Amino acid sequence: MTTLPERPRYLFIRILEACNAGCFMCDFAHSRDTYRFTNEDLSELVPKALEEGVRYLRFTGGEPLMHREILPMVRTAAEAGLQVSLITNGMLLPRMADALAEAGLSLVVVSIDGMDAKSHDLFRDARNCFDRAVEGLKLAKSLGIMCRVNSVVGPHNYREMPELQEFLADLGVDQWDLSALKLSQMPTYPDEDDVRRVGERIYAHERLRPMGKRWYGETAEEQHRYFAQGVTPRVSQDRCFAAEDVVYLDAKDGSAFVCACLPHRTDGGSNSARFRTGGVVDLGTPRLREMQQHFAAHGPASCTGCNAASARYSDVVAAGSDVPAWAY
């Protein structure tokens, strides 16, 4: 058996559900939920996360920039030595970029799904979302924060992606995560060959190649599974290294998952562990380790599809190559 080098782990925390956008595909659209994971909760969690080998942290939601304590939370994690990122729709980024940089944010991931304000704002049901996201990215870049754009792609917008790609490359975006839209109802494309043609162009781009596997699959088998069954490309090996390296916390109900896709599966709950029991936080519970081992070994066979970046992440680890910073 090959011994793999110890790798830094990634921790995702959904710190709230409330959101100021109404994305058509999202469970949290326009949510007014009042739950907040607090800076105090985070201060308790960070030492446990470090003990478990976590080096990268991502705040997600809901909309993390709506959280009143987001700045102290970035600072708490950064001061403890974690590389800190957050994923945002960017609406509040122009007014917060300065303070986020000062608090120690390393990477900002901004969600952009359309090539211009007209289409993006419609998908997100949020006025000025595109313009603010772009302004926020420019500011973040000028402040030395690494910038990634996350685009969710499907039949509704894949034809816009080449134009968006040029735009993002001109903007100087560092990474582009192009991931398939997931819905309980399978997305259908009127012309699969047209998707392949558009995809060829996107994945041959020299300045800003998407970070993961092709959203519609790399091999003929993957593409068939995607177009016929809606299963997005998954890891190519029979072992999922993302499951070993990632912990996703749904802070509101205290559950932990070994992959960011699992909470969204209909059987999600049965695939979770507790990370907070009776007020005590622990990321090294036997149940969580059991989940990690289970999904690392059996995930690839039962997986209903990865996001594109995590499928590639696991393949890079499996190949024994160096895993670049912020590969996930």
Q: Smallest gap, in angstroms, from Cβ of residue 327 to ligand SAM? A: 17
Number of residues forming the site for ligand SAM (CB under 6 A): 17
Nearer to ligand SAM, 226 or 296 (CB): 226
Q: In this structure, what are the phi and psi dihedrals at residue 247, rounded to the nearest 5 degrees? A: -125, 130
Helix 117-124 to helix 129-142 angle (10° resolution) is: 110
Pairwise CA distance, residues 306 & 180, whole Å: 9
DSSP string, 316-327: HHHTTPPPPTT-
243 to 35, 192, 278, 319: CA distances (angstroms): 27, 31, 26, 16
Chosen residue from 8, 18, 26, 169 binding ligand SAM by CB under 6 A: 26
Determine, following the binding rule CB under 6 A, whether residue 299 of this chain makes contact with ligand SAM.
no
Question: Quick check: 114 binds ligand SAM (CB under 6 A)?
Answer: no
Distance (Å, rounded) from C-alpha 235 to C-alpha 242? 9
Does residue 63 bind ligand SAM (CB under 6 A)?
yes
25 part of the interface to ligand SAM, by CB under 6 A: yes
Q: Does 169 bind ligand SAM (CB under 6 A)?
A: no
Q: By CB under 6 A, name the one of 183, 186, 280, 325 that touches ligand SAM.
A: 183
> Which amino acid does the sequence have at 182?
K
Stretch that binds ligand SAM, among 70-78, 84-92, 156-164, 286-294 (CB under 6 A): 84-92
User: In 3D, which of 160, 79, 93, 76 has the Cα closest to residue 122?
Assistant: 160
| Six token digits for residue 321 | 């190559």
94 Cβ contact partners less than 8 Å away, ≥ 6 residues apart: 132, 135, 136, 139
- CA–CA separation, 62 and 65 (whole Å): 9
- With contact defined as beta carbons under 8 Å apart, do 209 and 257 qualify? no
Amino acid at 99: A
Out of 150, 223, 271, 272, name the contact with ligand SAM by CB under 6 A. Answer: 150
182: contact with ligand SAM by CB under 6 A: yes
Min dist CB 285 to ligand SAM, Å, is: 26
Closest to ligand SAM by CB, 101 or 180: 180
Stretch that binds ligand SAM, among 57-65, 168-176, 251-259, 279-287 (CB under 6 A): 57-65
Pick the closer one to ligand SAM by CB: 7 or 28. 28
Q: Return all residues near 228 (Cβ < 8 A) that are at least 6 apart.
A: none
* Choice between 45 and 86, CB closer to ligand SAM: 86
Looking at the Cβ atoms of 33 and 290, the one nearer to ligand SAM is: 33
Contacts with ligand SAM, residue ranges (CB under 6 A): 19, 23, 25-26, 28, 60-61, 63, 87-89, 111, 150, 152, 181-183
